[in-house]
Amino acid sequence: MNKLTKLLGIKYPIIQGPMAWITEAELAIAVGEAGGAGVIACGSRNAAWIREEVKKVRAATDKPFGLNVPLLDLNKDELLRTACEEKVPFVTIGAGNPIPYIESFKKAGIKVICVIPNLKLAKRVEDNGADAIVIEGMEAGGHIGSITTMALLTNIIPEMKIPVIAAGGIADGRGMAAAFLMGAAGVQIGTAFLLAEECTVHMNVKRRLIEAMDTDSVVTGLLHGHSARCLKNDFTEKYLGLERTAAPQEKMDQLATGTSRLSAVEGDIANGSVFAGQSLVRLKSIRPVREIIESIYNEAVEVLNKAPGLLIKRD
């Protein structure tokens, strides 16, 4: 047991990353039953949907789970209020300043994990009562910051007292072991769970991920502060073309609106945004969640057990 597993009451220090239109009750249940922490993504949803998903999880398992609330959503106040009313075990909040919302969650008895892009905000959320933080590097899929996972681990972990969860480009046990050696208390993994049998993302997305090479991801919105990492396709070519010609932001927003649902739910992997991280090559098969989690953890243990042998002995 380490600081994160103790905090959340889980077996493995693995949090399933939230992905809008994808990470619903079914996946959260499977992750919890397998010993990790499942997370329901509240982005682009409403209170009624959230309550129904929470009900499904509680009917199926007594394992801990969480809700992710993106602070960039226009209905964020509704999402935050619903999370408090449902008194879920924990929340992850990011894509904005989480500090004004920490106290209300704590009063509701909910553990708060803040997704943080830099050291300055990491220190502020710790000082304001956050229970843990996720530091997510730009190798991650979906909306990203501008700092790599390695740099975040280097800069932030030595300065923190609360548990730090590493995210961004971690898809196997070697990545998990590296995060542990840097001082992380756990990892958040998203893209690898897209290939879970229990993940409801469209099969076209799963097939595309299995075929993907290490050079197949691209970042859109980098020039306008709305960075998102996804797989190359017709949509990304059109979007990047608009960026290169300095098109108005409204035109790019119009092109991007609804594209995450288009791929995840409808299976249009040409015109939809297929969010995925950079660590793609090892994602080659669809497996049960339990197998994914146990293989990642067991590989991490194996790597860490070999680590002392890598040191040069001093005379």
Shared domain for 194 and 245, answered yes or no, is no
| Any domain includes 295 | no
User: Is pLDDT above 80 for 313?
Assistant: no
Shared domain for 207 and 258, answered yes or no, is yes
Helix ranges (H only) for the chain are: 3-8, 25-33, 47-60, 76-86, 99-107, 119-127, 149-156, 173-181, 203-211, 234-244, 249-256, 259-264, 289-306
Q: Residue 231's domain spans which residues?
A: 203-264
Q: Residue range 6-31: average pLDDT?
A: 95
| Any domain includes 302 | no
Shared domain for 242 and 122, answered yes or no, is no
Shared domain for 105 and 245, answered yes or no, is no
CB 96 within 8 A of CB 113: no
Shared domain for 220 and 257, answered yes or no, is yes
DSSP state of 263: H
Q: What pLDDT does residue 70 have? A: 87
- The token pair at 145 is 């910051």
Shared domain for 85 and 173, answered yes or no, is yes
Reported as a pLDDT band with limits 50, 70 and 90, residue 315 is low
For 285-308, how does the pLDDT look when each residue is reduced to its tens digit (9 = 90+)? 999 999 999 999 999 999 999 988
Shared domain for 95 and 224, answered yes or no, is no
Shared domain for 76 and 19, answered yes or no, is yes
| Any domain includes 220 | yes
Shared domain for 57 and 129, answered yes or no, is yes
Number of separate domains in the chain: 2
Phi, psi of 24 (to 5 degrees): -110, -165
Average pLDDT of the chain is 93
**End-of-domain residue from the set 156, 182, 200:** 200
User: Is pLDDT above 80 for 249?
Assistant: yes
Shared domain for 207 and 178, answered yes or no, is no
Burial of 214 (0-12, 13-18, 19+ CB in 10 A): exposed
Shared domain for 115 and 216, answered yes or no, is no
For 23-74, how does the pLDDT look when each residue is reduced to its tens digit (9 = 90+)? 999 999 999 999 999 999 998 899 999 999 999 999 999 999 999 998 887 8
Nearest-angstrom CA–CA distance, 136 and 165: 8
Q: pTM of the full predicted structure?
A: 0.93
Strand partners, 219: 229
CA distance to 1, 119, 154, 291, per residue, from 157 (Å): 19, 9, 6, 29
Shared domain for 35 and 102, answered yes or no, is yes
